């Protein structure tokens, strides 16, 4: 029988084996490998079984108590920890709801804990004991005076008296002095000019508005010479009064003589709407002109217009003009015990 030989190098020697011997060696190695795999699997199963059991109840208790000791919020709290089969029961008194919640969280987060039963209670703060009043000598006079002074400062200050309201009736005379110069040549209807009271406004025996208060004049109409049959025209009215920080609209009228035109005295009556006032005639060419006015109010109010033929009507600064209120006006004044502040 012819045998196949296989040569191996073993320890620097060449050993020739038959084919059967080689197959036996391979089978033996496979058997050893299978045994080793089975042993490794057994060890792995046993390890997993031991891990699945988890930490013991005693280990869980120590872990929770250790976390409490390391946490500053529950370190000084008296919390009892009882663990049975992974279920934790917390009991005892804690100082606050925050400490109770923190103790519960730390227990829940511990490994191996299945459930946490919270039986902790928040201890109520004990009221401070009221010390018995000791018999002391009566306080000295200075503290009493200080307490009186403090009581006075705490008193509500008296309310200031309310402001007064005085109504200036219609028909009251108002004399003003112009501040701005006014001319029929440059003025247009609606323009306003500054003036001031030349005399106080009096109601009964009381001065309501003092002399010097600011007054506003309004141009009702203005026409240059030659546009109305050779005559110029200028109509003015009181517009408003400013006093003690308040502005009051005015309606006024005035009656004065009209300057001559071509040797004759001319005056024409024309209608003006409510809220505007009197007519004045200015000084034209240095000669005195007179203004003629009429009542101004709602519905059919009238005013006079003055004409100066061939000449413009000019009202220089510091000209005195007289008006009459066509409607009443209510003025707000400071209380009587308050010193007047002028304008």
pLDDT tens, position by position, 157-215: 788 888 888 899 999 989 999 999 998 888 888 999 999 999 999 998 889 899 999 99
Q: Crossing angle, helix 57-70 and helix 97-108, to 10 degrees?
A: 140
- The average pLDDT across 49-74 equals 85
DSSP 28-55: HHHHHHHHHHHHHHHHHHHHHHHHHT-S
pLDDT number for residue 234: 80
pLDDT number for residue 211: 92
Q: Is the pLDDT of residue 88 over 60?
A: yes
pLDDT number for residue 320: 93
pLDDT number for residue 195: 96
Task: Average the pLDDT over each of 111-115, 130-134, 330-334 and give the range with the smallest value.
Answer: 130-134
The answer to whether 283 and 322 have CB atoms below 8 angstroms apart is: no
The predicted-structure confidence for 280-313, as pLDDT tens digits, reads as follows 433 333 333 334 333 333 333 333 344 444 577 8
Q: Is the pLDDT of residue 85 over 60?
A: yes
Mean pLDDT over all residues of the chain?
74
**For residue 228, how many other CB atoms are within 10 A of its CB?**
14
H or E element: which one contains 150?
Answer: helix 141-154
Q: Is the pLDDT of residue 72 over 50?
A: yes
The predicted-structure confidence for 235-247, as pLDDT tens digits, reads as follows 889 999 999 888 9
- Choose between 137 and 205: higher pLDDT: 205
- The average pLDDT across 23-32 equals 77
**Residue 31 backbone zone (phi > 0: left; psi -120 to 50: alpha; other: beta):** alpha
H or E element: which one contains 230?
Answer: none
């Amino acid at each position: 029988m012819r045998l196949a030989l296989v040569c191996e190098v073993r320890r620097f020697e060449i050993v020739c084996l038959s084919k059967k011997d080689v197959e036996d060696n391979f089978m033996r190695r496979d058997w050893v490998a299978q045994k080793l795999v089975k042993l490794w699997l057994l060890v792995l199963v046993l390890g997993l079984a031991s891990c699945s059991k988890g930490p013991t109840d005693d280990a869980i208790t120590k872990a929770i108590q250790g976390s409490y000791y390391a946490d500053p919020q529950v370190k000084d709290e008296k919390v009892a920890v009882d663990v049975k089969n992974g279920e934790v029961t917390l009991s005892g008194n804690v100082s606050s709801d925050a400490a109770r919640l923190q103790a519960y969280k730390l227990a829940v987060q511990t490994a191996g804990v299945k459930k946490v039963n919270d039986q902790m209670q928040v201890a109520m703060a004990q009221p401070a004991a009221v010390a018995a009043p000791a018999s002391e000598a009566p306080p000295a006079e200075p503290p009493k005076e200080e307490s009186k002074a403090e009581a006075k400062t705490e008193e509500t200050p008296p309310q200031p008296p309310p402001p007064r309201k005085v109504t200036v009736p219609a028909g009251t005379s108002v004399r003003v002095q112009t501040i701005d110069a006014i001319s029929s040549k440059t003025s247009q209807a609606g323009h306003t000019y500054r003036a001031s009271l030349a005399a106080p406004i009096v109601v009964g025996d009381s001065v309501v508005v003092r002399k010097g208060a600011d007054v506003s004049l309004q141009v009702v109409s203005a026409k240059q010479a030659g546009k109305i049959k050779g005559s110029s025209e200028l109509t003015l009215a009181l517009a408003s009064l400013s006093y003690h920080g308040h502005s009051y609209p005015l309606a006024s009228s005035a009656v004065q003589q009209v300057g001559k035109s071509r040797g004759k005295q001319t005056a024409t009556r024309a209608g003006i709407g409510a809220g505007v006032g009197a007519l004045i005639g200015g000084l034209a060419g240095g000669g005195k002109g007179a203004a003629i006015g009429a009542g101004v109010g709602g519905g059919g109010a009238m005013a006079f217009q003055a004409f100066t033929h061939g000449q413009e009507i000019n009202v220089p600064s510091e000209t005195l003009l007289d008006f009459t209120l066509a409607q009443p006006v209510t003025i707000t004044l400071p209380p009587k015990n308050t010193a007047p502040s002028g304008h």
